[in-house]
Amino acid sequence: MTLDSRMFQWVLKQLGESDNQRHSVPNDYPQSIHEIGPKLFEAYKVDSGSVQLAGCALEDRPLLRVTVRSTEASSGESRLRHRFFTPDGGRVSNELAETLGADELVPAIQFRRSLADADVQQWISVARTANAPGVESAESSGAADEFLAATVVWLKYADGKLRFTIGEQNVELPFAGWARLLARGLQEPPPYVCPLSGLRSHHLQATDDGRITVAEAIAACEVSGRRV
């Protein structure tokens, strides 16, 4: 189906005449917190101890995917492009959107009532202004963008804590990020920060008196030989 085919033009007409919100989710994205843990744990080394989740919540956060038709002024050739926007109107790079899975979507009617129609329309209006006919886009190489359709994409965002345990002692470390990036090891989790030295590391050890901190902050006393 080409951009100039009758079928494609019919599809565009249906999209343009529809006032209903269109909601989607990535075809492949984490469904539970258990899919996030393994890659998070791999990032840390805990000598004689362990790391586990101390609580984690997955929140659905929306992006707006705007579909435009870019037409080259010189050749007249047209192609479809997607633009992605945050709720405050900021642009999201296509590279990040693709990494988040926002380029391969399936319908998600369960989110139909998650946003007020007026809020979605306002969001679309901001995006359409950024892609108005005659407005050149940097990645379009001089092509003018024509607005075609918009879809609200729902992505999972994780917010939780990790608990490091050595012996009878434990410490916790908060983390947050897009669930898909964390589950695939594409976002490095935060290092633990020594509260005394400020040193940061993914390698944790315990001192001889049981305090847990980063390995780089522990040294042996020249007199007693104790690790402090």
Q: Give the per-residue SS3 of the chain.
A: CCCCCHHHHHHHHHHHHCCCCCEEEECCCCCCHHHCHHHHHHCCEECCEEEEEEEEEEEEEEEEEEEEEEECCCCCCEEEEEEEECCCCCEECHHHHHHCCCCCEEECHHHCCCCCHHHHHHHHHHHHHHCCCCCECHHHCCCEEEEEEEEEEEEEEEEEEEEEEECCEEEEEEEEEEHHHHHCCCCCCCCEECCCCCCEECEEEECCCCCEEEHHHCCECCCCCCEC
Q: Is the pTM of this model over 0.85?
A: no
Say if residue 152 is in the same domain as residue 65.
Answer: yes
If you average pLDDT over each of 73-82, 119-128, 134-143, which comes out highest? 119-128
Residue 186 and residue 74 share a domain: no
**Taking 60 as the threshold, does the pLDDT of residue 2 lie above it?**
no
Query: Which has the higher per-residue pLDDT, 141 or 27?
Result: 27
Domain boundary among 156, 180, 203: 156
- Residues 71 and 178 grouped into a single domain: no
83 lies in the same domain as 152:
yes
The structural domain count of the chain equals 2
Query: Is residue 109 very low, low, confident or very high in pLDDT (cuts 50, 70, 90)?
Result: confident
Co-location of 140 and 115 in the same domain: yes
Q: Are residues 139 and 174 in the same domain?
A: no
For residue 227, tell me if it sits in a domain: no
Residue 198 is predicted with a pLDDT of 94
Please report the pLDDT score of residue 195 as a whole number.
92
Average pLDDT of the residues in 166-190: 96
pLDDT at position 175: 98
Tens of pLDDT, residues 7-42 = 455 445 555 545 556 899 998 888 899 999 999 999
Q: Which structural domain range is residue 51 located in?
A: 33-57+157-217
Does residue 204 share a domain with residue 131?
A: no
Please tell me which residue, 52 or 222, carries the higher pLDDT value.
52
pLDDT at 139 over 70: no
Mean pLDDT calculated for residue range 160-167 = 97
- Residue 6 pLDDT > 70, yes or no? no
* Mean pLDDT for all residues in the chain: 83
